[in-house]
A and B are shown apart, each in its own frame.
Chain A
Amino acid sequence: MALFVDVLGGLVGTFFIISVLSMLWKDNPIFRIGQQAIIGATMAHYILLNFKSALNNAVLPMLGGNLLLFVPLLLGVLMYTRLKNEIAWVARYPTGVLVGVGTGVMIAGTLRGQIIDQIKNTVLDLTNSAVSGNMTGIINTLLIAIGVVTAISFFTFTREHKGVLGISAKIGRIFLMISLGANWSGELVWYLTQLIGRLSWIINTVIKVMLLGG
């Protein structure tokens, strides 16, 4: 037998699911209430969790003797100065720290992980297939290599896409469209899964279990 609080939760959840789905008919106050509710809820949730993280990772260790942690705490507080125009320039310091560290960490890994290794793998796959003599492998790896080269040529915007570059860019566009199609397909099925999940929750959890006691 479901508890009253569980049934109440089920009914509240069902109300909010239907309030969002009602948007399909037309924009209406019930949908807007659901929309505004989640804005407030998300903000509260992020504040609660992040402040707890800051407490555990900085405030408590600092009070326990690690005074160096005062620096990132101060930097975080200084970020709030951007809310006032006269002292907004102070926020450039914590922004600079975030940007500098993030950019450095990104650059370091990008060169190897996303450029050198990706090109290397494309070439190695092709040569390994050629050496092994596997015709299917050769065709597949050759197609991948053609796709990589032509797709990169499509992103070359410093020269007009004419002649050989034009043909290459057009072929690259086709490969990119196939990739976009695959991404689009993944999105469609993802959203369908979300719909199934919510409808299933209403039917199997709320109606069958909570209300009918099944």
Chain B
Amino acid sequence: MSLFVRKQLPIIIASILGILMILAYFTTFDIFAQFKGIATSWVVIVSAVTVAMGFVYMTNAQIKMYQMNKTPLQLAYTLTTYVFFGAFMIAGLAYKGDVNSPEYQWWFQNIYGNVSATIYAVMYFTLASSAYRTFVISSIESEALVLGGMIYTLRQIPLFQVYMPWIVPLGEWFLLVPNVGGSRGAVIAAAFAALVVGIRTLWGKEVTLEVSS
């Protein structure tokens, strides 16, 4: 297949679609709005269909992990992944109501819900222990970081709201004044960057689109 079909035509299609989306936004022609409605709903369908690629990549990763560490324990870990994958698929397909069935809910809430929630819980210890070492007042920037962090932390804890009532308006002030100043600046800067990357993408200049899969 020619280079035009393999590389350039997809970029041209991306550019045309992007420009049509922008025209739908900034013009009042109904045709563009209708096209935007169709295109955006199609994107949802494409996203839904491609999800099974994750299974392929997961299998690839599991094989690589086993190849790096060929032990019975690693094999057990890999098998665990597929056992639970199979169990959830069976629970989701075999019962009336599929993922809404009480059986699937049991699996989902007791296993997925608890493991995923606890992973976030473990992050508390990780964050707290790293803050113990690194959250020190060593420069003016770190002072600002600590001030913003600690004031807003104390503002969220009822104990300090009751026994240090001045922390409430101070914490809110930090959230709605200096935080807004910094965040808004970051939002605007990030928006400029996103605009530039977006325009480069539609222009066909964005290198990442040309990289082969």
Q: Are A103 and B112 closer than 8 Å at their CB atoms?
A: no
Find residues 78-132 in chain B having any chain A CB closer than 8 Å to their own CB: 78, 80-89, 92-93, 98-99, 106-125, 127-128, 131
How far in angstroms is the closest Cβ of chain A from B53? 6
Answer yes or no: B50 CB below 8 A from chain A CBs: yes
B67: interface (CB < 8 Å): no
Contact with B along A20-39 (1 / 0, CB 8 A): 11011000010011111111
A48/B99 contact (C-beta < 8 A), A32-B77, A104-B202, A151-B184 known? yes
Most chain-B Cβ atoms within 10 A of its Cβ — which of A35, A88, A99, A194?
A: A99
B189 at the interface (CB under 8 A from A): yes
Query: Does A101 lie at the interface of the complex (its beta carbon under 8 Å from any beta carbon of B)?
Result: yes
Interchain CB contact under 8 A, B93 and A178: no
B195 A21 Cβ-Cβ under 8 A:
no
CB of B13 within 8 A of CB of A93, answer yes
Q: Which residues of A contact B131 (CB under 8 A)?
A: 188
Does any Cβ of A come within 8 Å of B52's Cβ?
yes
Which among B1, B7, B157, B212 has the greatest number of chain A C-beta atoms within 10 A? B212
Q: Which residues of the partner chain A approach B162 to less than 8 Å between Cβ atoms?
A: none
A47 within 8 A of B: yes
Neighbouring A residues of B16 by C-beta, 8 Å: 100
Q: Is the interface of A mostly helix, strand, loop or mixed?
A: helix
- A104-B20 contact given A182-B148, A184-B149, A188-B124, CB 8 Å threshold: yes
Q: Is A96 a contact of B14 with CB atoms below 8 Å? A: yes
Q: Which residue of A lies closest to B20 (CB)?
A: A104
**With a CB–CB cut-off of 8 A, which chain B residues contact A102?**
43
Of the residues A16, A52, A54, A187, contact of B99 by C-beta under 8 Å: A52
B49 at the binding interface (Cβ < 8 Å): yes
> Contact between B122 and A24 (Cβ–Cβ < 8 Å)?
yes
Closest to A106 in B: B198
Most buried by A among B107, B109, B115, B202: B115
CB-defined contacts of B195 to chain A, threshold 8 Å: 107, 110-111, 115
- Specify which chain B residues have a CB less than 8 angstroms from the CB of A194 in the assembled complex: 117-118, 120-121, 123-124
Question: What distance in Å separates the Cβ of A119 from its nearest Cβ neighbour in chain B?
Answer: 7
Q: Is B42 an interface residue (CB 8 A)?
A: yes
A180 within 8 A of B: yes
User: In the complex, what distance in Å separates the CA atom of A140 from the CA atom of B169?
Assistant: 13
- From the candidates B53, B121, B150, B182, name the one contacting A151 in the complex (CB within 8 A): B182
Structural contact, A50 and B51, CB atoms closer than 8 A: yes
Q: Which residue of B lies closest to A179 (CB)?
A: B182
Contact between A97 and B58 (Cβ–Cβ < 8 Å)? no
Q: Which residue of B lies closest to A62 (CB)?
A: B45
Knowing A92-B10, A108-B21, A198-B114 touch, does A174 contact B188 (C-beta < 8 A)? no
Beyond known contacts A79-B46, A94-B50, A151-B189: 8 more, CB 8 A cutoff: A45-B99, A48-B89, A48-B99, A77-B49, A80-B50, A140-B177, A144-B184, A178-B148
Instruction: Please pick, from A24, A109, A152, the residue contacting B185 in the complex, using a CB distance under 8 A.
Output: A152
Smallest CB separation, B107 vs chain A (Å)? 7
User: Binary interface profile of A, 174-192, with partner B (CB < 8 Å = 1, else 0)?
Assistant: 1111111110111111111
Q: A180 CA to B108 CA in the complex, in Å?
A: 34
| A44 interfacial by beta-carbon distance below 8 Å | yes
B136 at the interface (CB under 8 A from A): no
Q: Is the CB of A178 within 8 A of B178?
A: yes
Which residues of chain A come closer than 8 Å to B87, judged between CB atoms? 44
Is A131 an interface position by the 8 A CB rule?
no
Q: Verify if B192 is at the interface (C-beta below 8 Å from A).
A: yes
**Does residue B73 face the partner (Cβ distance < 8 Å to A)?**
yes
Interfacial chain A residues near B194, Cβ < 8 Å: 106-107, 110
**Does A161 make an interface contact (CB < 8 A)?**
no
For residue A140, give the distance in angstroms from its CB to the closest CB of chain B: 5
Q: Which residue of A lies closest to B103 (CB)?
A: A5
- Taken together as a complex, chains A and B put the C-alpha atoms of A194 and B126 apart, in Å, by 13
